[in-house]
Amino acid sequence: MIVSIPPKPIDDYTFDAHGFVVHRGLIPDSDIDRYVEFWHANLGFDSNPRYSPEFTEFRYLYTDMPEVRDLLCHPQVRWAFEQLDLGDLAVHSDILAWHHAGIPFHCDVLNETETPHCGVWIALDDIPVEAGRFQIYAESHRWDKYLPDCGLTPTSTESPYHVQELIAGTLMEPVTFDARKGDILIWNTHCLHGAEKQQDGFPRKIAIAHVGEEQNKVRHNDGMWYVP
């Protein structure tokens, strides 16, 4: 009988060893609340039909919305990246919708080089099981896999190829992020990641930034970074 290997508590993982790290309560409630108020007023689907709930419509709003940059480039997020010593990274896309795109486990393939590329998952509230919690396979950025066969490009939303075969070949189970308001998770986007199924009526109140090394960086406030 094959027995799967259950994950350990998510707080026990480290970025260098496992490909992701969690920081609890990193962003103050007041800064979260300020962004959520802005989201309801400007990005909520009912209040502003300009932004449809399609996955690709929320990719680059940080370029002209300082309220989005204030969150994604928060000083505490910057501090967390400085601890990882990955270089001077820049935001290059965002996912701000409060629904999951329904994409199964995948990698984010924006490059196939050793250039650092990470994601930042910010919890704007406690995230219940019904809202679709983030999941990730520890150390899967080191698995022997051809990234284009198991990853999404910046414009694709199709199910990645060969991922189910990769997952079936390991005894590991994914690690689930039991996120609470103000928590963040930083992950190497070459790790296989996805989410639990989101149920109707349970918004997944999160904000996501993808970051990497970019030459064309623009400074934001006191030492923050983004790419227009």
Domains in the chain, CATH or no CATH each: 17-226 (2.60.120.620)
C-alpha to C-alpha distance for 78 and 2, rounded to whole angstroms = 43
pLDDT digits (tens, 9 = 90+) for 131-178: 999 999 999 999 988 887 888 766 666 777 789 888 988 889 999 999
Is pLDDT of 21 > 90?
yes
Show the tokens assigned to 58: 């929320």
C-alpha to C-alpha distance for 89 and 196, rounded to whole angstroms = 29
Is pLDDT of 70 > 60?
yes
Q: Which helix (H) or strand (E) holds 17?
A: helix 15-18
pLDDT digits (tens, 9 = 90+) for 195-209: 999 998 899 999 999
Q: Give the 3-state secondary structure of residue 134.
A: strand
